[in-house]
């Protein structure tokens, strides 16, 4: 109160320490890290380190959005470190811009670019019921886990962490074009996985 110049910064770090949103971030970060590291303890450690960085530097950021982007960028580095430590050097250090067009996902379309009959998406029954089903979430998690690492990382930044396209391009050091290609592939693959393992009872359209 008696320190008007320092007040905004103090307020920002106070908010970071106490705000309920930090618990939401933590949960998102733990998911993000666990899926990529495959180990709850390592994930916990990486998230902890990233949050410590956030506490220290909260005052330097204007607004939560900028801080969140930054915290997740740190987390991504921590995850990369942890993966390297596990001797998964090739995978962890593979640059995101690397083209993975050779992956098997010529899959859903024929050579003219139209759905193969067996791959054509069907209508999903009762999607709103699925989110209340514990088993659905196990399938969802397994499908996320089955994505190639690059696709998983970018998809999670976009849909779990809700970073904007620009923020992801910056954090992952990829172009907008790459981002769109990666997200398209990830969505095709996830959709197919969920349809095969959960929603697959609908009639196939002709």
Partner 1 sequence: MLTCNDATRLLSDSQEDRLSFKARMSLTAHLMMCSGCRNFGRHLQILREAARAFAAGEDERTGEEQGQP
Question: Which of 26/84 has CB closer to partner 1?
Answer: 26
Q: Which stretch binds partner 1 (CB under 8 A): 1-9, 52-60, 88-96, 109-117?
A: 109-117
Tell whether residue 37 is a contact of partner 1 (CB under 8 A): no
Q: How many residues bind partner 1 (CB under 8 A)?
A: 44
- Residue 27 contacts partner 1 per CB under 8 A: yes
**What gap in Å lies between CA 132 and CA 127, rounded to an integer?**
10
What would the x/- binding string for partner 1 be over residues 125 to 164, using CB under 8 A?
--x--xxxxx--xx-xx-------------xx-xxxxx-x
115 strand-pairing partners: 109
CA-based nearest residue to 47, from 61, 62, 32, 57 = 32
Distance, in Å, from the CA atom of 83 to the CA atom of 88, rounded to the nearest integer, reads 6
Residues with Cβ < 8 Å from 30, sequence gap 6 or more? Answer: 43, 44, 47
Contacts of 91 (CB under 8 A, 6+ apart): 83, 149
Binding-site ranges for partner 1 (CB under 8 A): 24, 27-28, 31, 109, 112-115, 120-124, 127, 130-134, 137-138, 140-141, 155-156, 158-162, 164-165, 179-180, 183-184, 187-188, 190-191, 194-195, 205
């Amino acid at each position: 109160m008696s320190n008007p110049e320092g007040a905004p910064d103090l307020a920002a770090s106070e908010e970071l320490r106490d705000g309920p949103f930090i618990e939401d971030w933590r949960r998102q970060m733990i998911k993000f890290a666990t899926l990529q590291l495959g180990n709850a303890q390592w994930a916990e450690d990486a998230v902890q380190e990233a949050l410590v960085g956030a506490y220290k530097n909260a005052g330097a950021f204007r607004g939560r959005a900028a801080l969140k982007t930054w915290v997740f960028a740190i987390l991504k580095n921590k995850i990369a470190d942890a993966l390297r430590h596990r001797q998964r050097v090739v995978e962890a250090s593979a640059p995101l811009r690397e083209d993975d067009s050779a992956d098997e996902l010529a899959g859903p379309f024929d050579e003219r670019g139209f759905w193969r009959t067996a791959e054509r998406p069907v209508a999903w029954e009762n999607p709103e019921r699925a989110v209340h089903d514990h088993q659905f979430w196990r399938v969802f998690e397994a499908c996320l886990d089955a994505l190639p690492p690059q696709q998983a990382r970018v998809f999670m930044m976009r849909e779990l962490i809700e970073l904007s396209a620009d923020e992801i391009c910056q954090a992952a050091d990829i172009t907008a074009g790459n981002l769109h290609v990666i997200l398209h592939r990830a969505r095709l693959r996830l959709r197919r996985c969920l349809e095969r393992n959960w929603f697959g009872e609908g009639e196939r359209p002709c």
